[in-house]
Structure 1
Amino acid sequence: MRVLIRADASMTIGSGHIARCVTLANVLRRDGADVRFACRQLPGHLLQRLAEQSFITYPLPERYEQQSQGATIESSLPWQEDIDALAGQLSDEAQFDWLIVDHYGLDARWEKAARPFARRLMAIDDLANRPHAVDVLLDQNYTAQALDTPYARWIDARCQTFLGPRFALMRDEFQCEPIPIRPKVERVLVNFGGFDAAGQVHATMLALQGFADLQVDFVAGLHNPHWETMSARVDAHPGWRLYTQVSDFFSLMQQADLFIGAGGGTTWERAALGLPTLCISVANNQQLNAQLLAEAGVHLYLGRHEDLAPQRLTSAVASLREDPALRQAYADRSRALVDGRGARRIADALAAAADN
């Protein structure tokens, strides 16, 4: 089976789209599939990292002529220019069995135009805010299962859907035992995505300054503009450690008693481990999912990072570290959502459809 994935990473977009696609790609590749990536060369792109993992990559332009200035991560891309750029890269390639698109800026117009590239198309989405013309749609978020038919108006009735955290694209190690819930929080893990574009790691440092007895691991992301300031703060706190990248994030999560982070892809990793979480949204598309999960008793949601005062985060840490019963309740409810086998389920579905 031959699979092409169209997704982007950048300082603005973050690394989450690529990360979850790589998880699925690795499962497909272990099954014998030839998986490739097409990505724009945006500041902070991950093409080199993909190549280091032995994926064939097709670089696409950083900018398009029709692209508007000040575009956000949810702004539409000039779909025809993107199709033309992709066609130029694939001119000598045979048709793929699957084209998987994971991009907020692309919709049914792009998907219809991409049909010549692959026998079947799949979209990975989180927003349910635009039409799709695909054979399979995946939305791994809690909103997709909690809301009533969120994609009914956006997809054809023949489109097969996989909705909710049961299908979350997670690495194999997250098919695991839960972490123990200790009487008191001793170690905290702080991470707000691959790039921390919101600068929330530094803001969290300010909120944690008064907890002299806490061990804290800060994973700050690539090219963090607060790096020097954060390094100085860590030097002044013997129990603090600062990382730009870690090769074994899973191990850091296993050692933690409390996670402070965003409402992105690590939501399901934390859930699989039963890792109690203080969640702060750093993007508009995280807010509803984070709020609904809080209402379901999965984590404590503190709202948008723009609105969060450091004192409120400090108070939440102080309260939660002394409440093992509440942390255990968060752990139990979060683990009920995921079993870590979502990528396997999606890979099996794609293989079954390709055989028909």
Structure 2
Amino acid sequence: MATGRIVIRADSGLDIGTGHVMRCLTLADALRDQGAEVVFVTRRHKGHVISALTGRGHRVVILPGNTGVSYGAHPAPPAHAGWLGAAWSEDAAATRRVLDAEGADWLVMDHYALDREWQQAALTAGTRLLVVDDLADRPHMADILLDQNAGRQAADYNGLVPDDCDRLIGPTHALLRAEFAQSRSEALARRDSLSRPERLLVTLGGIDKTNVAATVLEALAASPVAAGFEITVIMGGSAPWLEEVQSRAACMPMPTEVAIDVANMAQHMTRADLCIGAAGSTAWERCTLGLPTLQVVLADNQMAAASYMDKHGLALALPFPDAPDFASAVSKGLEHLSQRDTYRTMAHRAAALTDGEGTGRLAHQLIDREPLHAH
């Protein structure tokens, strides 16, 4: 009998962002399509995207947001322990109750604030563990470890996971929605036929807590290279600076629209010619579709992958948004990628990094594994 009961532990919010929950949602949809039962355990942090989970029909166990309780005694608290907003032991106990109630075959954990101590307390005897990580900075008792970042090596997790842990490393394993693989042929054909880019997509995460989108629009407004572009800015409905960005967009010297909570990101990326984008999980969406990108680092955990991609011609790295040369770097980057040979070379290199099929492969791997207990 194949495994089919899965609990996912992930959070979203202003500090955490939306990426962890959204990539887990992608996996959850694929698992459900293959007959699995999925339940999310998540906290109601400020800026959460729980509605995205319920809106797709998934069951959700909601824990309180910031409880005001400290992380608690721990041998070596994770660097991001503060993201939990609760005592790790209480969080583990709450998750364990859900695992027990569901008779779960798998626990999927995607959370920088949680580690092996939490896992030992949360896991039930019959439950396997999939850890989704980007940091390689803390130990796990994982059966499968997924780190989808470019430049990451399996050896980076030596001593952090059991020797028999199945390590899925690199963008070929990225958790992307099926629409990206489905749009791949159309997108790559568009890149090859393009004479000069004209449509620019700006996508800086669902939250954009520091209002980088406004900084990007300011740079584009001042750039003579950008004058001929049509611009689309993708934002989340929970973004704190949404109204300001909408106001700026209305005053831009070139056609600029703001699209909110889009359900067709692959279509937007396929129709775009260039992108200014965050160096997070959406990087692998852009690579699947061969979309040449000026990449912005918005969090420390994005720096290594962004540096690797710049070095290998997979994307062009921009300086930090508060750097004095940011605007000039945007303009120079657009000019550089508007050259036909440069454009096509980056499109092909990026597309070679991943085919966008990682989610389906992982879902099969979880469901096809023999369960540890009988239901």
Shorter-chain TM-score: what band?
over 0.9
* Native 8 Å contact 1:272 1:338 kept in 2: yes
TM-score by length of 2: 0.88
Per-residue Cα deviation, 1:292-326 (whole angstroms, up to 9, x for no partner): 11111101011333436343333324422531211
Structure 2 residue 241 is the aligned partner of structure 1 residue 226: yes
Matched residue, 1:149: 155
Matched residue, 2:250: 235
* SS of match in other structure, 1:137: strand
Alignment partners' CA distance in 2, 1:312 and 1:118: 56
Alignment partners' CA distance in 1, 2:94 and 2:155: 34
Per-residue Cα deviation, 1:308-348 (whole angstroms, up to 9, x for no partner): 63433333244225312111111111111101110111112
Out of 223-232 and 149-158, give the one that drifted further: 223-232
Change (3 A) 1:35 1:343: same
Alignment partners' CA distance in 2, 1:66 and 1:85: 16
Matched residue, 1:7: 10
Alignment partners' CA distance in 2, 1:17 and 1:159: 21
Change (3 A) 1:272 1:94: closer
Where does the alignment leave 5 or more consecutive residues of structure 1 unmatched?
A: none
Residue type matched to 2:45 in 1?
L
Aligned partner of 1:135 among 143, 148, 153: 143
Structure 2 residue 305 is the aligned partner of structure 1 residue 299: no
Change (3 A) 1:242 1:118: farther
Matched residue, 2:260: 244
Alignment partners' CA distance in 1, 2:40 and 2:112: 17
Matched residue, 1:273: 289
Per-residue Cα deviation, 1:156-194 (whole angstroms, up to 9, x for no partner): 101111111111111112222113252222110001011
Change (3 A) 1:331 1:308: farther
* SS of match in other structure, 2:275: strand
Matched residue, 1:103: 111
Change (3 A) 1:349 1:7: same
* Native 8 Å contact 1:167 1:342 kept in 2: yes
Change (3 A) 1:354 1:44: farther
Aligned Cα root-mean-square deviation (Å): 2.1
Structure 2 residue 48 is the aligned partner of structure 1 residue 32: no
Per-residue Cα deviation, 1:2-33 (whole angstroms, up to 9, x for no partner): 00000001111111111111111111111100
* Native 8 Å contact 2:220 2:331 kept in 1: no
* SS of match in other structure, 2:106: strand
Change (3 A) 1:4 1:149: same
Residue type matched to 2:23 in 1?
R
Alignment partners' CA distance in 2, 1:264 and 1:73: 19
Out of 256-265 and 236-245, give the one that drifted further: 236-245
* Native 8 Å contact 1:207 1:313 kept in 2: no
Alignment partners' CA distance in 2, 1:170 and 1:308: 35
* SS of match in other structure, 1:314: helix
Where does the alignment leave 5 or more consecutive residues of structure 2 unmatched?
A: none
Aligned partner of 2:176 among 170, 176, 197: 170
Matched residue, 1:45: 48
Alignment partners' CA distance in 2, 1:28 and 1:56: 13
* SS of match in other structure, 1:128: coil
* Native 8 Å contact 1:99 1:117 kept in 2: no
Alignment partners' CA distance in 2, 1:235 and 1:94: 50
Aligned partner of 2:213 among 195, 198, 201: 201
Per-residue Cα deviation, 1:133-177 (whole angstroms, up to 9, x for no partner): 111111111132xx4610002111011111111111111122221
Per-residue Cα deviation, 1:253-308 (whole angstroms, up to 9, x for no partner): 11111000111011011001110000010000000100011111101011333436
Alignment partners' CA distance in 2, 1:38 and 1:106: 13
Alignment partners' CA distance in 2, 1:59 and 1:73: 24
* Native 8 Å contact 1:216 1:240 kept in 2: yes
Q: How far apart are 1:90 and its partner, in Å? A: 5.7
- Aligned pairs, how many? 351
Matched residue, 2:299: 283
Alignment partners' CA distance in 1, 2:129 and 2:122: 8
Aligned partner of 1:56 among 55, 59, 76: 59
Residue type matched to 2:179 in 1?
E
* Native 8 Å contact 2:220 2:327 kept in 1: no
Matched residue, 1:80: 89
TM-score by length of 1: 0.92
* SS of match in other structure, 2:319: strand
Alignment partners' CA distance in 2, 1:148 and 1:279: 25
Q: Percent identity at matched positions?
A: 34
* Native 8 Å contact 2:71 2:88 kept in 1: no
